[in-house]
Amino acid sequence: MKKEEKKVEKRVEKKKEAVLCPVYQKCGGCQLLHMDYARQLKWKRDQAGKLLEPYGKVEEIIGMEDPLHYRCKVHAVFGRDRKGNIISGIYQTGTHRIVPVENCLLENTKADAIIGTIRGLLKSFKIKVYDEDTNYGLLRHVLIRTGYATGQIMVVLVLRSPILPSKNNFVKALLKEHPEISTVVINVNDRKTSMVLGDRQQVIYGSGYIEDELCGMRFKVSPKAFYQVNPVQAGKLYKKAITYAGLTGKECVLDAYCGTGTIGMIAAPHAKQVIGVELNREAVKDAIAGAKKNQLSNIRFYQADAGDFAVDMAREGGKVDVVLMDPPRSGSSEKFLEALRTLRPKKIVYVSCNAETLARDLKFLCNNGYQLKKAAAVDMFPYTDDIEMVCFLAN
Ligand code: SAH
């Protein structure tokens, strides 16, 4: 392509992006908005191939049929613009400047509508938005989680101090506009921090959690527990992970970094026994409640660092046939990987949301007797450059 033509194409793409999303450039969240969806999938498949093909076979990428508005967890930060108007939206990449967002292409539309309603209610309820510089004001963030299959909606109001003036009337006004809301929680975050949620919580309407369903299992999700933001694709990811594990009903399975216990619970009917380990206490409580709800008697959850837990297990001569692991972006700890050398599970299914740490951990495992048998990318985050991968290793 000639230089001039390339320039024109770039200009057309820029226009397209601006039409699709007015804050595209300031937000920086949709790195792939300039590509149509088929091209995004090809790009991600190629990236996964580059990373994994030196080790083994990579299957076709698993894409989304309808790749918009998939985010069931929506976070909005509240503040004021230069003119003093209340705004809500997201932090501009790498800064603490708020980019106002009303309708995001990726976020659940109901969640965005609820955030808009809250913005509108603040003035009449005399609720001040928080100002990071002066540490003054009350409302810092709103977090909304929606159950994809159940339609349940949780609204978390993150406040600097625990008192919300006329809280009952506020909830009433919110429910009048959105009767579909199932629960409202106040979370208190009085620290100068970029973490959204603080430690203290108070339920002011409903049960304080939502439930969702995936792969025939029902899960409890509390405000602070990890739950995949794209449940449609999470279902496909879990299915792939379970297929890779090839369970026959005789295996002892370790679900490491298990969150609310999703993967382990889906595996449990096909295994002899499942052990889940997770650091976040709220997530572990949700996992235990979920196992009860799903009437699973062969699964146990433990709150611990996955590395410490696996080391103890190895020291006590514990037996594990299959390890399902889904660590955070920082990847697995050395401790955990070292313990796997002793535990020597026949199969490892590694779910990763970060190519760099996956590459590091794969190298370790492949240097220690494992082989990558199969792998696939699953598009959990269309329009962004995040790539989720699931790998099957055996020794
Ligand atoms: N498998 C789950 C959660 C994956 S996200 C799902 O699909 O929903 C990664 C999880 O690892 C989070 O729940 C996080 O709280 C947990 N985690 C982070 N560091 C950990 C550690 N050192 N030990 C155990 N769990 C950890």
> What's the pLDDT at 15?
62
Q: What are the pLDDT digits (tens) for 56-95? A: 889 999 999 999 999 999 999 999 999 999 999 999 888 8
Distance in angstroms (rounded) separating the CA atoms of residues 358 and 294: 32
Q: Separation of 318 CA from ligand 1 center, angstroms? A: 21
CA 178 to chain centre: 25
Is residue 104 part of the annotated active site? The answer reads no
Mutate to test the pocket of ligand 1, among 278, 301, 350, 380 (most ligand atoms within 8 A of CB): 278
| Residue tagged active-site, from 27, 353, 366, 391 | 353
Element (H, E) at 347: strand 347-352
Query: Per residue in 185-235, pLDDT tens?
Result: 999 999 988 889 999 999 999 999 999 999 999 999 999 999 999 999 999
Q: By C-alpha distance, which of 187, 205, 206, 207 is closest to 197?
A: 187
Cβ–ligand 1 distance for 378 under 6 Å, the answer no
Residue closest by Cα to atom 1 of ligand 1:
258
Helix, strand, coil distribution of the chain in percent, nearest 5: 35, 25, 40
pLDDT in tens, the chain (395 residues): 567 666 666 665 666 666 689 898 889 899 999 999 999 999 999 999 999 999 988 999 999 999 999 999 999 999 999 999 999 999 988 888 899 999 999 999 999 999 999 999 999 999 999 998 899 999 999 999 999 999 999 999 999 999 999 999 999 999 999 999 999 999 999 998 888 999 999 999 999 999 999 999 999 999 999 999 999 999 999 999 999 999 999 999 999 999 999 999 999 999 999 999 999 999 999 999 999 999 999 999 999 999 999 999 999 999 999 999 999 999 999 999 999 999 999 999 999 999 999 999 999 999 999 999 999 999 999 999 999 999 999 99
Find the angle CA(144)-CA(79)-CA(171) to the nearest 5 degrees. Answer: 45
Write down the pTM of the prediction.
0.92
pLDDT at 93: 80
